Structure 1
Amino acid sequence: MDPEIRRNRTAWEDASEKHVREYHQLLDRARHGSALFPQELALLRPLLRSSPTVVHLQSGHGLDDAALVHAGARSVVGVDFSSVAATAAGRRAGALRIPCRYVIAELPGAPLRDGCADLVYTGKGALIWIPDLAVWARDVARLLRPAGHLFVYESHPAVPLWSWDSDEPRIRPDRGYFARSHVNDTFPANGAREWQRTLGEIVNAVLAAGLELRHLAEFAEPFWRPDGVTAAAWQGQLPNTFALLARKGC
C-alpha cells in the first residue's frame, strides 16, 4: 500500500472508532430513520423500484446501506478500507437482519466480480480518498451490469475552500480549487491528505469510463455539520454538496 494511503487509512481507522463508541445510537438511527437526504431519495426512488443489487463503495458506518434496503434495494455490499468501520457496520446489519454484507479493501480495485451491481452508490466523504479518479471510474463501470447506474452524493469540490466563520462566508487563503490535494485539519485530522479536484474532473472521469451522465445537481445544504459549528458558508449562498447520476450502456 502506498505510504500516503496507509497514513490515510490509519487516520480513518482512528476516526471510525466513533462508529464503535456510538454503536447503539447508530443502530437506533438505522432501525428507525433514514440516512438518505430528500434530494438523494428523489433521484434514487425510480432506481430502487426495481429492487436493485447495490454496491456501496466506501461504505463507512453503513447507515446509508440500511436506508437503501428500507427504500427498496434487494441487497447491499459495502466496501471500505477501514476494518473498524466495516466490522461495526456488519454487526449492525446482523442485528437488524438486513441483507447487507461488508468487504474490507482498498479502492479502486474492489474485490468483487464484474457486472455484480445494478447500482453503485458512493459519496459523503468518499472521493477525497481516491488519488486516481480515472481508475476509480473504470472500476465502477466494471462493477455495473449493462443499464446499471452510478449514483454519487458528495461534498462539493469547492467545500475545502470555505471557512467555518459564523459571521459571513469566506474563502480560506491556504487552499485552492485547482490544487492537487490538501491536509485535513478538522475531521478526521491526524494529517490525512484529501485529494482535491474540480467538478469538471469528476464528471469527465465518469464520461471517460464510458458511462452516460443522466443528472447533475448542486445543493447549498452540507451532508455533515460538526457539533457546535454554525458556518455562514452553510446558510444557502454557496454550493456544499452535489448529486451525480450516470448510466452504463446496454
Structure 2
Amino acid sequence: MPRSDEDIANLLRWDEAAALHLDSPFYAVREVISGESSLSAIDSELLAGLGGRCLHPMCHIGTDTVSVARTFSEVVGFDYSEKAVRIAGRTADRAGVRNCHFMAGDVAAIPVASACFDVVFLNWGSLVWIFDLPSVLVELRRVLRPGGHLVVVDQHPASLTFRRGFPPSLMVPVEDYFGERKISVDRKDYAERGADIRHTTVIEARHTMADILRSVLSVFRLVEFQEYDSLSWQAYSGMVVSGRRLWRRKSSPVPLSFSVVAQREPGTGIH
C-alpha cells in the first residue's frame, strides 16, 4: 500500500482514472478483449525469445498485461490501485486469458516468494511514479530467478523536460533536466482530455538517465541499452506512425524513449 503523501495523492488520481480509462480508445480495451495486442513494436521486440512466468509491475488496467500473457506461461499484473487491478481482472476474463492474474500493493514490497519469476517487465509511463527507484529495483531483483531478466521501456528522461500532452502539444522545453526530483503537476487526464477530473494534482518522479542506469547496474548485469526516436503515444505535434503503436517526429532534439534489458546473474543468492 502507499507509503508516502506522494503515493497517496497519486493513488487518488489513479483510482479515479481507472474507470475512465476502461472506455478510452487510448487503452484499446475492446481490441485487447477481441484478441489484438496493445504492445508496441518495441515491447514485442524486447520480449521476443523470453518466456516463463512474468511480473508486470505498474500494470494499471492491464491491457498490456493481458497482451503479454498470450506469449508467456503465466503473467502477474501488479499495481497500487485496487480499482485498477479489479478492472484488469475483468478484462482478462472477458478476453478468455486464464494465465493472467492481478495483485495490488506496494511495488517496493511485493507479496510473492523470492526467485519466482523469469521476467519482470516494466513499461511505458512507469518510472515517473517510482520515487525510490533503487529500493524498487532491489525488490524486483528479489522476485527474479537467477538468470532472469528485467526489461524496462519508457519515455526518455530527457524528453520529459518538454511539454507533452494528448492531444499532441508543441515540443517546448519546460523543465530543467537536472532540476527537482519530484514535480507537482496539475493536469487533465492524458487519455481523456475532456473528462472532468476531481483529483487533478499528481506528484511525478524525475530520474536522469544516469540515475536509472546506476540503479540498474547496482543490482543487475546490463545486457542491452537502447535509445529511440519514437514513443508509444502521440505526445508531441508532428508525430507520425512509425510502427505498431509507435509514433515519431521527423526530427527530435532528444531521444524520445529508451529501453534497458538486464539480468540477475546466475548462481547468485536469493536475497
Q: Give the TM-score normalised by structure 2.
A: 0.81
C-alpha separation in 2, matches of 1:22 and 1:196: 27
1:218 aligns with 2:227: yes
Relative distance call for 1:167 and 1:130 in structure 2 (3 A) is closer
C-alpha separation in 2, matches of 1:75 and 1:126: 21
Higher alpha-carbon deviation: 61-70 or 143-152: 61-70
The residue aligned with 2:244 is none
Aligned identity (percent) is: 25
SS in 1 for 2:216: helix
Q: What are the residue-to-residue correspondences of 1:1-250 with 2, within 5 Å?
A: 1-22=3-24, 26-47=29-50, 51-70=51-70, 72-98=71-97, 99-164=99-164, 169-172=171-174, 175-179=175-179, 180-186=181-187, 188=189, 190-209=200-219, 211-225=220-234, 230=237, 235=249, 236-237=251-252, 238-250=254-266
Q: Greater helix percent: which structure?
A: 1
**Structure 1 gaps, min length 5:** none
SS in 1 for 2:186: coil
Kept in 2: contact 1:54–1:119 (CA 8 A): yes
Q: How many residue pairs align between the two structures?
A: 241
Q: Deviations over 1:87-126 (max 9, x none)?
A: 1110011122211111011221111111110000012111
Amino acid in the other structure paired with 2:262: A
SS in 2 for 1:39: helix
Higher alpha-carbon deviation: 104-113 or 146-155: 104-113
Amino acid in the other structure paired with 1:42: E
Q: Deviations over 1:58-107 (max 9, x none)?
A: 1112111222122x200110110111211111001112221111101122
Kept in 1: contact 2:148–2:264 (CA 8 A): yes
Kept in 2: contact 1:19–1:85 (CA 8 A): no
C-alpha separation in 2, matches of 1:168 and 1:123: 24
Relative distance call for 1:92 and 1:215 in structure 2 (3 A) is same
SS in 2 for 1:216: strand
Q: Give the TM-score normalised by structure 1.
A: 0.88
SS in 2 for 1:7: helix
**Structure 2 gaps, min length 5:** 190-198, 240-246, 267-271
Relative distance call for 1:130 and 1:96 in structure 2 (3 A) is same
Relative distance call for 1:149 and 1:181 in structure 2 (3 A) is same
C-alpha separation in 1, matches of 2:94 and 2:169: 44
CA RMSD of aligned residues (A): 2.4
Relative distance call for 1:107 and 1:164 in structure 2 (3 A) is closer
The residue aligned with 2:242 is none
Q: Deviations over 1:162-204 (max 9, x none)?
A: 12497964311xx221221212333547110100011111111
Q: Deviations over 1:26-84 (max 9, x none)?
A: 0333433212111222221111xxx31000011112111222122x2001101101112
Amino acid in the other structure paired with 1:29: V
C-alpha separation in 1, matches of 2:160 and 2:209: 13
- Residue 15 of structure 1 and its aligned partner are, at CA, apart by 1.7
